[in-house]
Amino acid sequence: MADLKNNLSVLAEAYGNPRARLDYYLGQGKKVIGCFPPYTPEELVHASGMIPMGLWGGQTELMRAKSYLPAFACPIMQSDMEFGLSGAYRGLSAVIIPALCDTLRCMTQNWRFGVPGIPMIPIVYPQNRRSPASVDYLISEYESVLTMLSTITGQMMNEQALCRSIEIYNEHNAVMREFAQTANEHLDIVTPRVRHAVMKSAFFYEKSEHSAIVREIIAELKKLPAYAHPGKKVVLAGIMCEPDELLGIFEENDFAVVGDDLAQESRQYRTDTPAKGGGSLRRLALQWNCRTGCSLIHEDGKPRGEMLASLCRLSGASGVISCMMKFCDPEEYDQPYYEGDLRSAGFPCLSIEIDQQNTSYEQARTRIETFREML
């Protein structure tokens, strides 16, 4: 149990203080690349011998960012811009920005001019993924990213290195999926805050290091007797569900999180890169075409409702809490479809607003308390 508590504490510390993780890697003489959400090709950074580190915003007072972004821009992007302008990301060798929504497209240029000291590497993913040309196009985008990364390292990535990085990332995906499943048998220990810390801390570790810690957590959990949670079980959907003050309200109301469709959490880990299909860049491009059920990725039909209903059935969840990122148009477009499908399947939904700049959670508390009474 001591090792379990220590490992959970280590990941919680990394989640709570990403700057310390950045300084740790810089102190080792390693170069670190900032990765904007949600789907930066971290494998390319890893295979180039550098550390990819997630940039998911955070709680901060917006001052300088207001000169670059409108008030209705995504809170994550506003926070990232503020951190970049204030020097909080000092030490990064570059940032990669995937242009997957209108705000991310604007961020590429805002960052280029606002934070010239940290080079910006853009990547545009194809949305017409049915076209065979989408794979060739994405490979060309990856090659452009690699060319810019090579100006930082002084050498081009090789095929063997990328194959190994893909293996490491697929292994990490499997470990995180196993953790999510194992955690549901130990909801007395893996509370909503603990679960979130384990998930998010992955963005601040080299992935094989994080896999090793989470494997130890899984092994220790499996030694313990299963715990029958007496309260309500829910699935979370959206971009992210934080900060801890909000997750603490779940715990106060005896809610357990038994699954998620969060872009910051399980969406990262549910799609592996194929083991076959050509060279490593082509396989990485095929992985993008295999992703499904995400508001930021175009696909015919709206499969998220059935995916969430299935997750509820498998996990024993009583309902879904939609964590609606403030001003996130893609999520807002998806919400009526998947909530309608969920209600048709017999699973009630609650929608709460996520805003990293929020300082009061009383409205959310009232809504969560009411939802508990409804289930």
Give the CATH number, domain containing residue 76.
3.40.50.11890
C-alpha–C-alpha distance, residues 85 and 69, integer Å: 12
C-alpha–C-alpha distance, residues 75 and 149, integer Å: 28
Q: Quick one: tokens of 11?
A: 């990941």
Q: Are 268 and 298 in contact (CB under 8 A)?
A: no
Domain total in the chain: 1
The CA-based dihedral angle spanning residues 261, 269, 48, 211, taken in that order and rounded to the nearest 10 degrees: 120
HSE-up of residue 267 (Cα within 13 Å, Cβ side): 24
Per-residue pLDDT, 29: 97
The phi and psi torsions of 32 (rounded to 5 degrees) equal: -125, 135
Buried b (16+ CB within 10 A) or exposed e, 25-53: bbeeeebbbbbbbbbbbbbbbbbbebbbb
CB atoms within 10 A of CB 301: 9
* Cα torsion angle, 145, 148, 152, 154, sign: positive
Q: Are 152 and 94 in contact (CB under 8 A)?
A: yes
- Is residue 111 in a domain? yes
Give the 3-state secondary structure of residue 146: helix
C-alpha–C-alpha distance, residues 200 and 14, integer Å: 9
Show pLDDT as tens, one digit a residue, over the chain (375 residues). Answer: 669 999 999 999 999 999 999 999 999 999 999 999 999 999 999 999 999 999 999 999 899 999 999 989 999 999 999 999 999 999 999 999 999 999 999 999 999 999 999 999 999 999 999 898 999 999 999 999 999 999 999 999 999 999 999 999 999 999 999 999 999 999 999 999 999 999 999 999 999 999 999 999 999 999 999 999 999 999 999 999 999 999 999 999 999 999 999 999 999 999 999 999 999 999 999 999 999 999 999 988 889 999 999 999 999 999 999 999 999 999 999 999 999 999 999 999 999 999 988 878 999 999 999 999 998
- Is residue 319 in a domain? no
The boundaries of the domain holding residue 135 are 15-157
Helix axes 2-16, 207-222, angle to 10 degrees: 140
- Whether a cis peptide bond, with omega within 30° of 0, leads into 38 is yes
Residue with tokens 């789907």, as numbered in its chain: 39
C-alpha–C-alpha distance, residues 56 and 239, integer Å: 10
Q: Are 372 and 254 in contact (CB under 8 A)?
A: yes
C-alpha–C-alpha distance, residues 122 and 109, integer Å: 9
Per-residue pLDDT, 2: 64
- Is residue 321 in a domain? no
360: CB partners within 8 A, 6+ apart: none
234: CB partners within 8 A, 6+ apart: 250, 255, 256, 257, 258, 317, 318, 319, 320, 321
140: CB partners within 8 A, 6+ apart: none
* Cα torsion angle, 305, 308, 312, 314, sign: positive
Per-residue pLDDT, 360: 85
Helix axes 304-315, 329-344, angle to 10 degrees: 60
Residue with tokens 């130990």, as numbered in its chain: 186
Q: What is the DSSP letter of 127?
A: S
- Is residue 65 in a domain? yes
The phi and psi torsions of 87 (rounded to 5 degrees) equal: 95, 5
Q: Are 76 and 325 in contact (CB under 8 A)?
A: yes
- Is residue 29 in a domain? yes
- Is residue 352 in a domain? no
- Report strand pairing: 94-98 vs 319-325: unpaired
For the chain, list the strands marked E by DSSP.
32-35, 51-54, 94-98, 120-123, 232-238, 255-262, 319-325, 349-354
Per-residue pLDDT, 65: 95
- Is residue 32 in a domain? yes
- Is residue 143 in a domain? yes
Give the 3-state secondary structure of residue 358: coil
